[in-house]
Amino acid sequence: MLQCIFLISDSGEVMLEKQLTGHRVDRSICAWFWDQYISQGDSFKALPVIASPTHYLFQIVRDGITFLACSQVEMPPLMAIEFLCRVADVLSEYLGGLNEDLIKDNFIIVYELLDEMIDNGFPLTTEPSILKEMIAPPNLVSKMLSVVTGNASNVSDTLPSGAGSCVPWRPTDPKYSSNEVYVDLVEEMDAIVNRDGELVKCEIYGEVQMNSQLTGFPDLTLSFANPSILEDMRFHPCVRYRPWESHQVLSFVPPDGEFKLMSYRVKKLKNTPVYVKPQITSDSGTCRISVLVGIRSDPGKTIESITLSFQLPHCVSSADLSSNHGTVTILSNKTCTWTIGRIPKDKTPCLSGTLALEPGLERLHVFPTFKLGFKIMGIALSGLRIEKLDLQTIPPRLYKGFRAQTRAGEFDVRL
């Protein structure tokens, strides 16, 4: 079981320490951890499970903050990692982001949350909606109140009503004047285009996100028009497995508020909405590079905020890049970002320029990988369609809303 959780800032400072069991974990473990990180560099940060001389460490890094958990005995490593991810999710939801200052400003909230989320090294309540009921998220009013009244605690005195019922994720009797339920399909496109310009892999990772504000104890049924295209899926605990197994229908009692109902994957797509055509020629110490970006197949909606970023190879000493549309920035760590935005009707955006190689090098032999970003509102590229959302008992003034959006996930174009 987990013994201790540390939050470490990106400068190695231990911001927060939460001991979970009677056996104290010394802070020196963080010092060890940071020394290792300094000596081994980034690849150490990417190692989620580390066997230190005294403890096993589990770490995840979110927005520069390292969540470090220690254990001395055998335990499922994924459990620790998954839990840390949940903590990070919950914290960023409560604090509206994650950074050093936010955590330092809201120490009390963070400790209260950790208290509720884990007990004696074993995860307790991780459902955000229940947590919100127990611990009020920080806002201006509560801050004012605490300053004025001096009452610092924002832990509610009553037990969450859902804790005792058979659906622990839902408070027993929420009341809303207007009943609303929104379903969002949020999809991410993962694709790999290889050096020959061939589409090696193209798949969609999607999530069904819901925001339900329904009175009472609703029982929802969501069905898709074409569930057969779904390859893999994972469900929120509220989804009943049987109806899905038998006729691919999602039947569930939703938690209150926002939550992720399911995630899915659609594989073997044939087409991407955007194409990237990079070209590079190198000769006697200089490289000419030109990248064309255009719409391959029009999805019917505008493609927004297209960006293209890549890492210049180490052997490039200087770069001179310009584009006929959008802006190009090169950071000091040789990351180059080309922000295109929308693709204009009259011309094809083109990035071109020269790269000067380090002296002595004739030709470029390592090539960067371009990462493409885009966003399309109002369409799910996987083609997944929601057929209908049924409620068993229809409350008065029910509003159902559906949305869809697709953005680029891990879209790699290799040169």
Of the ranges 26-34, 72-80, 139-147, 399-407, which one interacts with other proteins (CB under 8 A)? 72-80
Q: Does 227 sit near other proteins (CB under 8 A)?
A: no
From candidates 74, 157, 298, 346, binder to other proteins by CB under 8 A: 74
405, two tokens: 């959006």
By CB under 8 A, the residues from 111 to 170 that bind other proteins are: 119-120, 122-124, 126, 159, 163-166, 168
**At how many degrees (to 10) do helices 107-117 and 77-95 cross?**
140
Considering the complex, state which of residue 260 and residue 375 has its C-beta at the smaller distance from other proteins: 260
From candidates 9, 21, 36, 92, binder to other proteins by CB under 8 A: 21
From candidates 11, 39, 53, 73, binder to other proteins by CB under 8 A: 73
Minimum CB separation of residue 311 from other proteins in Å reads 6
Considering the complex, state which of residue 321 and residue 343 has its C-beta at the smaller distance from other proteins: 321
By CB under 8 A, the residues from 351 to 410 that bind other proteins are: 360-362, 365-369, 371, 410
What does each C-alpha distance from 266 to 227, 246, 250, 299, 399 come to in angstroms?
Answer: 10, 20, 17, 17, 29
Helix H or strand E encompassing 377: strand 369-377
Angle at the Cα of 143 from the Cα atoms of 140 and 145, rounded to 5 degrees: 110
User: Total number of residues binding other proteins (CB under 8 A)?
Assistant: 76
Hey, which residues does 51 pair with through a beta bridge? Answer: 56
Buried/exposed code over 128-151 (b: 16+ C-beta within 10 A; e: otherwise): bbbbbbbbbbbeeeeeeeeeeeee
170, two tokens: 């839902």
Site string for other proteins, 183-222 (x = CB under 8 A): -------x-x-xxx---xx---x-----------------
Angle at the Cα of 230 from the Cα atoms of 229 and 234, rounded to 5 degrees: 175
By CB under 8 A, the residues from 238 to 277 that bind other proteins are: 241, 244-245, 260, 263, 265
386, two tokens: 């929601």
By CB under 8 A, the residues from 316 to 355 that bind other proteins are: none
Minimum CB separation of residue 324 from other proteins in Å reads 26
Minimum CB separation of residue 45 from other proteins in Å reads 8
From candidates 1, 15, 249, 292, binder to other proteins by CB under 8 A: 1
Residue by residue, DSSP assigns 27-56 as: THHHHHHHHHHHHHTHHHHT-SEEE-SS-E
